Amino acid sequence: MSSATTNLDAYWMPFTANRDFKAKPRVISGASGHHYTTEDGTKLYDTFSGLWTSGIGHCHPKIVEAVQKQVATLDYCMSFQTTNDKAIALAERITAMAPKGIDHCFFTNSGSESVDTALKIALGYHRARGEGNRTRLIGREKGYHGVNFGGMSVGGIVPNRKVFSAALIPGVDHMRHTLDIGRNAFSRGLPAHGIELAEDLERLCALHDGSNIAAVIVEPVAGSAGVIPPPAGYLERLREICDQHGILLIFDEVIAAFGRLGHAFGAERFGVTPDIITTAKGLTNGVIPMGAVLVRDSIYEAFMQGPEHMIELFHGYTYSGHPVAAAAGLATMDVYKEEGTFEQARGLEQHFEDLLHSFDDHKHVIDVRNFGLMGSIEMAAREGAPGARGAEVHKKCFWDENLVVRAGMDTVQFSPFLNSNPDEMEQSFAGIRRVLDSLE
């Protein structure tokens, strides 16, 4: 370990096997473009573009410049009862990129905060319209909506909920997840089977009466549970059922927005417009923490009643619309436009799909899934040691192949740069193949 990491023990790492990590740390101290640099100067290729965050590469000069300029101009400004020019400009910019009718933006600092904000807005909206009975929230098994109480409760990843089960918010139901390896293994793009799973929502409407349900939240493509694209027609069907019952549809696009699915929003890619969109990550290319909740005009307007001097929504964060984050966001949107990032991402999809599916017949692999620039290779679990193969892939890639990859249990997930270079992509998959070949 280098001298720079002497106090490693003080740091309680998130979503990390701390003891295992600290026994042989993997510390990054620099980044540029598509590579990280470790403390000893080793260059590593980043196969995950940050944590789904940094689609246009690390330390993009335009964003660096905008942040440096902003921090020396307006470092912070009170976010309640006053605001800053950059937050206003960014709200205007991203609502202009959103599907038609989604015209208002509330800023947060993360995906988790965006989700909890969206759930609160949904409840407040119905109450403002005199339908305060609509309190139930519907999520989905295997959904990931961050780690705050609301997002954890509508989420469906078991270890994230298990320890906190007594504290999950009440009035939440889950639809079944759509992962069906039996019928859909090795599908390219959207799987053919499973549209009928959307009828779970009808069943919950029948059980509770749809008039008691406030909102349904789904990731258009489930990410953290191992990249699970929706069955063809599934999101369209959810939209129909929501419309029939007056339920708000929330797309959690913390991953899907800003190019990951080749468009500004996943909603555009699917041609399905939700009522609320939650975002974060690619909003600033991961440079400064920031999230946003985008809502339909009618939702915003429902709150705009009562005495005009009164606060309409008792919710917000000290750092909502932080000027430095907003400056990073504006520069990010500029780059997306100037460099044609979303088109670039679409242009890479076929190559990415082919590289991923070259693992279809690998001896350890039981499924390969992809949509847009999201993908995963699911390995069979080693007998008696679920997750061991995935952890080994992560470490061997880091130490032997100079690759940073993400493994969730035995699924290796991929989030290539939106402006990836095809050669680098090929080389990284060649390294991953060597590692998979070497596994027991």
Ligand X SMILES: Cc1ncc(COP(=O)(O)O)c(C=O)c1O
Pick the piece of the chain touching ligand X (CB under 6 A) from 104-112, 297-305, 347-355, 395-403.
104-112
Pick the closest to residue 233 from 190, 268, 274 (CA basis): 190
> Whole-angstrom distance between the N-terminal and C-terminal Cα of the chain?
28
User: Is there binding between residue 282 and ligand X (CB under 6 A)?
Assistant: no
Distance from the Cα of residue 279 to its chain's centroid: 7
What are the backbone angles phi and psi of residue 279, rounded to the nearest 5°? -140, 170
> In what helix (H) or strand (E) does residue 257 lie, and over which residues does it extend?
none
Pick the closest to residue 214 from 172, 253, 174, 176 (CA basis): 172
Pick the piece of the chain touching ligand X (CB under 6 A) from 106-114, 241-249, 268-276, 403-411.
106-114
User: Is there binding between residue 153 and ligand X (CB under 6 A)?
Assistant: no
Pick the closest to residue 214 from 147, 339, 302 (CA basis): 302
User: Is there binding between residue 116 and ligand X (CB under 6 A)?
Assistant: no
User: Is there binding between residue 330 and ligand X (CB under 6 A)?
Assistant: no
Residue closer to ligand X by CB (options 415, 428) is: 415
Give, as one character, the DSSP assignment of residue 321.
Answer: T
Q: How far is the CB of 123 from ligand X (least distance, A)?
A: 18
Give dist(CA 228, CA 221) in Å, integer.
6
Pick the piece of the chain touching ligand X (CB under 6 A) from 70-78, 118-126, 142-150, 235-243.
142-150
User: Is there binding between residue 111 and ligand X (CB under 6 A)?
Assistant: yes
Q: How far is the CB of 312 from ligand X (least distance, A)?
A: 25
**Residues 295 and 106: beta-carbon distance below 8 Å:** yes
Pick the piece of the chain touching ligand X (CB under 6 A) from 176-184, 206-214, 219-227, 259-267.
219-227
Query: Contacting ligand X (CB under 6 A), which of 145, 245, 269, 369?
Result: 145
> What is the rounded (10 degree) CA torsion for 335, 339, 345, 351?
-140
Query: Contacting ligand X (CB under 6 A), which of 201, 247, 255, 333?
Result: 255
User: Is there binding between residue 321 and ligand X (CB under 6 A)?
Assistant: no
**Residues 90 and 326: beta-carbon distance below 8 Å:** yes
Query: Contacting ligand X (CB under 6 A), which of 150, 194, 223, 282?
Result: 223
Q: How far is the CB of 371 from ligand X (least distance, A)?
A: 14
Joined tokens for residue 358: 């070259």
Q: Which residues bind ligand X (CB under 6 A)?
A: 110-112, 115, 144-146, 219, 223-224, 252, 254-255, 280
